[in-house]
Amino acid sequence: MFSKINIFRGKNVLSLLFLLFFSFNTSNLLANDLEEHAVSQSSDSTVNNAAEAHAAEGHDDKVDITAVAFEHILDSHSWHLWGHGEEAVAIPLPVIIYSSTKGLQIFSSSKFEHGHASYEGYSLQAEKILSSDANETIYDLSITKNVAQMIISMIIIVLLFSSIAKAYAKTGINSAPKGKQSFFEPLIVFVRDDIAKTNIGSKYMKFVPYLLTIFFFILLNNILGMLPIGANLTGNIAFTLVLSVITLIVTNVNGNGHYWHHIFMPPAPKWLYPILIPIEVVGILTKPFALMIRLFANITAGHIIIISLIGLIFIFKSLAVSPIAVAFALFIDVLECLVAFLQAYIFTMLTALFIGSACADHNEDGAHTSDDDVHVAKANH
Amino acid sequence: MNLFILNALVTPGIGLIVWTTLVFILLIVLLGKFAWKPILKALKEREESIDTALKGAEKAKAEMAELKAGNERILNEARAERDALLKEARDTKESILAEAKTKATKEAERIMQTAREQIINEKNAAITDLKNQVATLSIDIAEKILKSELSNDEKQKTLVGSLIKDVNLN
């Protein structure tokens, strides 16, 4: 099932590239209007600042777009807002270190002075905290930019949906939904009916809260990540890893006898078991692994494409490139809006599919088990 | 440098793993309790209430149709009953009329009969009376005639003579 989607995704990327290279018809005027906005989005990429920074470090004055791009994609110990080098405006975030020798330590990331200074034997190099003591093992549990955004998104989601829940309690069930209630209700019903019910089958209601949480958590962070100062949380492999592992746990905890029977006693000749059983067992892990990679790669790729397109201006060192670069960046930006929804949907849908295949009632492939199918299956017995 | 960055890109950081786990589980618990449970409950209730309302409407419609059919039936019945009543009344009227006619005819006949009988009786009585009177009158006349015929001896001798003349003494 998900291999199909991979192919589909692959096609998407291909057609995207074609569009990228052949759609030169975008209005230059519009591009000029939006140029300022787009440049501010890749705030670090101003030629002078970047050049100065690199000159200061003793490199040639060529802009290292790769470094700029990855600076945006990777996590950071401070929340960079705008400016570069000494003029950079950034919010320092708390550094939390659990050390094998010194225990828990908490201090502000401003103590590192953007990697220029060391503090209590710790130094920050390329956003990695290193200890001067070779015997000391440290675990970096800092509230990084990603963690901070995650906490903000958690607060937003909890406040938003608890206020929606209050609206339901207040207006009762006999009135039509209003405002944000009516905006989110179709999404909630979509996740419940078209994702959970279609893929899981009769026991779907049990998993709807989990699927809703996953859907809105990924969706909100996808959208926040697209903001100029947002963190690339959903494009971080640690984040997608945790979500996938939780899906893995939920799937296998709810796996019924049929599911395990299919893994350890597949419907095949016995002599094939030495090959099939390892494949099936690995299959348990590859499903969530694919989930992890898919979300991470899609979101990260989108960010890289946008930054690279804007970076073209600085690579060619010509303002003439900017209309085309900005037009493409805008195009990809709009596409990323779609991808934000699409990836949240795909992650949720595949999670539902995996859960469905694990707890399907006497159905061979487990997918699309409806109540009717169950009745038919029972009738056949 | 690039290799290092790529390595950083695909290496999950322990800090983010821990925080994501914490935040996500907290989110599931918080949302599950304060958001999804009441929202899903309300949605289900609303759907059920809509469903019930629709079914109720359907039922009301059916009831309405049934009621209409019932009304029609009652109306038809009433109409039939009215027709029956009218027919009955007409029949009664006719039978009463017929009976009255028969009775009247009979009565008339009876009266006629009585009258006829009475007339006959009267007639007979009159005839009898007349006969008697005629007899009396005849007698009286005869008497008077006799008286006048036989008033003198001459006449008596003439009569006797005629009488004797008629008599053949054979």
Per-residue pLDDT tens over the stretch B41-98? 988 888 898 899 999 999 999 999 999 999 999 999 999 999 999 999 999 899 888 8
At residue A227, φ and ψ (nearest 5 deg) are -70, 150
Residue A75, number of CB atoms within 10 A of its CB: 22
A96 in contact with B at a CB cutoff of 8 Å?
yes
The more confident residue out of A258 and A41 is: A258
- DSSP states of A253-322: HT--HHHHHHHHS-SS-GGGHHHHHHHHHHHHHHHHHHHHHHHHHHHHHHHHHHHHHHHHHHHHT-GGGH
At residue A278, φ and ψ (nearest 5 deg) are -60, -40
Which are the contacts of B128, defined by CB distance < 8 A and separation ≥ 6? none
Q: How high does pLDDT run on average in chain A?
A: 78
Identify whether the C-beta of residue B104 lies closer than 8 Å to the C-beta of residue B112: no
Is the predicted pLDDT of residue B164 greater than 60, yes or no? Answer: yes
Strand order across the beta sheet in which A128-131 lies = A118-119, A122-125, A128-131
Is the predicted pLDDT of residue A31 greater than 60, yes or no? Answer: no
- pLDDT for position B5: 67
- pLDDT for position A62: 64
Identify whether the C-beta of residue A380 lies closer than 8 Å to the C-beta of residue A32: no
Q: Do B24 and A217 touch (CB under 8 A)?
A: yes
B152 in contact with A at a CB cutoff of 8 Å?
no
- pLDDT for position B61: 94
Is the predicted pLDDT of residue A245 greater than 80, yes or no? Answer: yes
Q: What is the ipTM of this complex?
A: 0.76
Assign A104 to helix, strand or coil: strand
Interfacial A residues in 238-267 facing B (CB < 8 Å):
238-239, 241-243, 246
User: What pLDDT band is residue A61 in, cutting at 50, 70 and 90?
Assistant: low
Q: Which of B23, B34, B36 to mutate to test the interface with A (most CBs of A within 10 A)?
A: B36
Residue A34, number of CB atoms within 10 A of its CB: 17
Report the length, in residues, of chain A.
381
Of B8, B17, B38, the CB nearest to A169: B38
pLDDT digits (tens, 9 = 90+) for A161-171: 999 998 888 87
Tokens representing residue A273 in the block: 């078991």
CB pairs under 8 A between A and B: 134
Sign of the torsion formed by the C-alpha atoms of B21, B26, B28 and B31: negative
Distance CA A353, CA B159 (A): 167
**Domain boundaries, given as residue ranges, for chain A:** 88-142, 146-380
- DSSP states of A158-178: HHHHHHHHHHHHHH-SSS---
The whole-number average pLDDT for the span A238-255 is 93
Closest CA to A299 of A336, A263, A267, A324: A336
**Which residues of chain A lie closer than 8 angstroms to B17, CB-CB?**
238, 241-242
Q: Do A238 and B17 touch (CB under 8 A)?
A: yes
- pLDDT for position A379: 43
User: What pLDDT band is residue A57 in, cutting at 50, 70 and 90?
Assistant: very low
The whole-number average pLDDT for the span A296-306 is 91
B4 in contact with A at a CB cutoff of 8 Å?
yes
Residue A342, number of CB atoms within 10 A of its CB: 16
Is the predicted pLDDT of residue B16 greater than 60, yes or no? Answer: yes
Q: Do B34 and A185 touch (CB under 8 A)?
A: no
A289 in contact with B at a CB cutoff of 8 Å?
no
Q: Do B40 and A192 touch (CB under 8 A)?
A: yes
Q: Are strands A138-140 and A94-99 parallel, antiparallel or unpaired?
A: antiparallel
A51 in contact with B at a CB cutoff of 8 Å?
no
Q: Which of A57, A150, A293 to mutate to test the interface with B (most CBs of B within 10 A)?
A: A150
User: What pLDDT band is residue A33 in, cutting at 50, 70 and 90?
Assistant: very low
The whole-number average pLDDT for the span A181-210 is 91
Which are the contacts of A301, defined by CB distance < 8 A and separation ≥ 6? A13
- What is the reported pTM? 0.70
Question: Which of the listed ranges A242-246, A261-265, A308-312, B148-152 does the model predict with the highest average pLDDT?
Answer: A242-246
Would you call B110 exposed, middle or buried from its count of C-beta atoms within 10 A (0-12, 13-18, 19+)?
exposed
CA-atom Rg of chain A in angstroms: 25
Give the H/E segment covering residue A75.
none
pLDDT digits (tens, 9 = 90+) for B104-142: 888 888 888 888 888 888 888 888 888 888 888 888 888
Tokens representing residue A360 in the block: 């399907």
The more confident residue out of B6 and B92 is: B92
Of B15, B38, B49, the CB nearest to A174: B49
- pLDDT for position B169: 67
Distance CA A180, CA A163 (A): 9
Interfacial A residues in 61-80 facing B (CB < 8 Å):
66-67, 70, 73-75
Which are the contacts of A176, defined by CB distance < 8 A and separation ≥ 6? A182
Distance CA A295, CA A222 (A): 10
Q: Do A213 and B12 touch (CB under 8 A)?
A: no
Is residue A361 left, alpha or beta, with left meaning phi > 0 and alpha meaning psi from -120 to 50? beta
